[in-house]
Amino acid sequence: DQQVKQNSPSLSVQEGRISILNCDYTNSMFDYFLWYKKYPAEGPTFLISISSIKDKNEDGRFTVFLNKSAKHLSLHIVPSQPGDSAVYFCAASDGAGNMLTFGGGTRLMVKP
């Protein structure tokens, strides 16, 4: 039973445009959500997080939106750059210090 799902395995975007990556979850106990970027054969790199008391968090070109009623979060990257090409994972936890449950990942390709 996948509690965190990323339904798009891949996404292709033109440089300078917006990239929108989506993530859905089923466990209503999740209260902290994170996005990680990962290159092949490297560890996940933390990008941005959001707690369930917020609906938006921004950090530079990255914005995460959380819709608790829909159990849906999204990551917006504006403007997209070729260096953003990687696999993006969303993850969730149900309390500080608890394990992360990961989605299956979305491969983002930003074309110059």
Partner 1 sequence: DSGVTQTPKHLITATGQRVTLRCSPRSGDLSVYWYQQSLDQGLQFLIQYYNGEERAKGNILERFSAQQFPDLHSELNLSSLELGDSALYFCASSPVGRRDTPGETQYFGPGTRLLVL
Q: Which residues bind partner 1 (CB under 8 A)?
A: 31-34, 36, 41-46, 49, 51, 89, 91, 93, 95-105
Output the smallest distance, CB 53 to partner 1, in A.
Answer: 8
Segment holding 73, helix H or strand E: strand 72-77
Q: How distant is the alpha carbon of residue 88 from its chain centre?
A: 6
Please tell me the distance from the alpha carbon of residue 40 to that of residue 54, in angstroms, as a whole number.
32
Q: Looking at beta carbons only, is 15 or 94 nearer to partner 1?
A: 94
What's the min distance (Å) between Cβ of 44 and partner 1? 5
